[in-house]
């Protein structure tokens, strides 16, 4: 019986992928799937690809069919091969904490649709602590304290969760094949369809920060893509009478505004459509009018 499937997308970082794999216990009830997203042959030795001869690891090499690529595409390929009762996602440059094996035993018979776990974060090279996990920790701590489970819609990342595969397959949930923020709508939909969720105390995952990662690329293209991803997530949430993630869309719009005002103004109708005129007026228009005509607001 396969209790867990761990899906890891990879591109051009075999040494870090190996570190991630080393943090995963080899167990008969754990299926490990690596999906390589068209790595470059000058950066990856495919003849000696990590875990190539590991009987516990399945490796899928993406073929860039019809231009399909990115972590979302890779994760979708992994979902097609998943056999575990629960899905676990990891990024190739992150890794699991030493308690992971114990946690796998602890929750293998748990009946909740999604189990949320805390994470920690470090710099990938120096191993010094960073603050990348703080946002998620604040949300999970608040959920534990207040039992406001709608706050979980704010967590757009797939890692740090044990998700019942049945939810994903039954509702045909897939990752968007965007270069950035391909996981937001997936996470939102899983949360929407989950009937029972819990937040565990265990810290099972370590997020890393490193130069060259997609997370650190703040170009106009990346900001627009993140904007559109959050826009689609908010439209979906509105159908379910949820108001989560409005601030995310606002933040991305403001970043685009700082970079290129014409593009931001062009996206303003989408902002109003997703968030509502009242929200946009309160957080954007009113504030900008106040900054411009400060004497009238005194």
pLDDT digits (tens, 9 = 90+) for 28-87: 999 999 999 988 889 999 999 999 999 999 999 987 776 667 899 999 999 999 999 999
Residue 196, pLDDT score: 97
Number of H helices, E strands in the chain: 11, 8
Give the pLDDT band of residue 214 (cuts 50, 70, 90): low
- Domain extent, residue 150, equals 4-213
Residues 262 and 156 placed together within one structural domain of the fold: no
Residue 206, pLDDT score: 98
Give the pLDDT band of residue 149 (cuts 50, 70, 90): very high
Residues 41 and 71 placed together within one structural domain of the fold: yes
CA distance 91 to 237: 26
Q: For Cα atoms 148, 5, 210, give the angle at the middle one, nearest 5 degrees.
A: 75
Residues 209 and 224 placed together within one structural domain of the fold: no
Residues 196 and 231 placed together within one structural domain of the fold: no
Kindly tell me if the per-residue pLDDT of 163 is higher than 90.
yes
CA distance 11 to 279: 39
Contacts of 16 (CB under 8 A, 6+ apart): 92, 93, 124, 208, 210
Q: Let me know if 6 is exposed, middle or buried by CB neighbors in 10 A (0-12, 13-18, 19+).
A: buried
Residue 56, pLDDT score: 97
Instruction: Choose the final residue of a domain: 158, 181, 213.
Output: 213
Residues 167 and 245 placed together within one structural domain of the fold: no
Residues 147 and 276 placed together within one structural domain of the fold: no
Token pair, residue 171, equals 């509702």
Give the pLDDT band of residue 297 (cuts 50, 70, 90): very low
Contacts of 74 (CB under 8 A, 6+ apart): 9, 10, 11, 35, 36, 37, 60, 62
Mean pLDDT over 262-283 rounds to: 91
Instruction: Choose the final residue of a domain: 213, 228, 261.
Output: 213
Token pair, residue 231, equals 């826009």
Residues 38 and 152 placed together within one structural domain of the fold: yes
Question: How many domains does the chain divide into?
Answer: 2
Contacts of 58 (CB under 8 A, 6+ apart): 31, 32, 33, 34, 81
Residues 233 and 138 placed together within one structural domain of the fold: no
Question: Taking the model in full, what pTM does it have?
Answer: 0.91
User: 69, 94 in Cβ contact below 8 A?
Assistant: no
């Amino acid at each position: 019986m396969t209790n867990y499937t761990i899906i890891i997308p990879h591109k051009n970082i075999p040494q870090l992928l190996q570190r991630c794999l080393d943090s995963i216990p080899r167990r008969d009830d754990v299926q490990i799937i690596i999906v390589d997203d068209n790595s470059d042959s000058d950066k990856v030795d495919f003849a000696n690809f990590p875990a190539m001869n590991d009987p516990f690891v399945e490796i899928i090499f993406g073929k860039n069919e019809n231009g399909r690529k990115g972590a979302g595409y890779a994760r979708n390929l992994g979902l097609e091969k998943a056999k575990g009762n629960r899905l676990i996602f990891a990024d190739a440059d992150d890794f699991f904490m030493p308690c992971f094996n114990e946690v796998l035993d602890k929750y293998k018979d748990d009946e909740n649709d999604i189990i949320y776990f805390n994470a920690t974060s470090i710099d990938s090279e120096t191993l010094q602590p960073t603050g990348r996990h703080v946002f998620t920790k604040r949300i999970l701590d608040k959920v534990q304290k207040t039992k406001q489970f709608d706050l979980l819609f704010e967590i757009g990342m797939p890692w740090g969760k044990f998700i019942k595969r049945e939810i994903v397959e039954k509702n045909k949930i897939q990752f968007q094949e965007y270069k950035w923020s391909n996981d937001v709508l997936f996470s939102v939909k899983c949360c929407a369809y989950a009937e029972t969720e819990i937040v565990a105390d265990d810290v099972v995952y370590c997020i890393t920060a490193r130069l060259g990662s997609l997370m650190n690329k703040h170009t106009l293209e990346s900001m627009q893509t993140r904007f559109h991803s959050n826009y689609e997530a908010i439209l979906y949430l509105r159908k379910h009478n949820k108001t989560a993630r409005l601030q995310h869309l606002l933040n991305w719009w403001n970043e685009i505004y700082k970079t290129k005002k014409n593009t931001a103004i062009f996206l303003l109708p989408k902002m109003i459509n997703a968030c509502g005129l009242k929200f946009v007026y309160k957080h954007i228009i009113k504030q900008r009018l106040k900054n411009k005509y400060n004497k009238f607001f005194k």
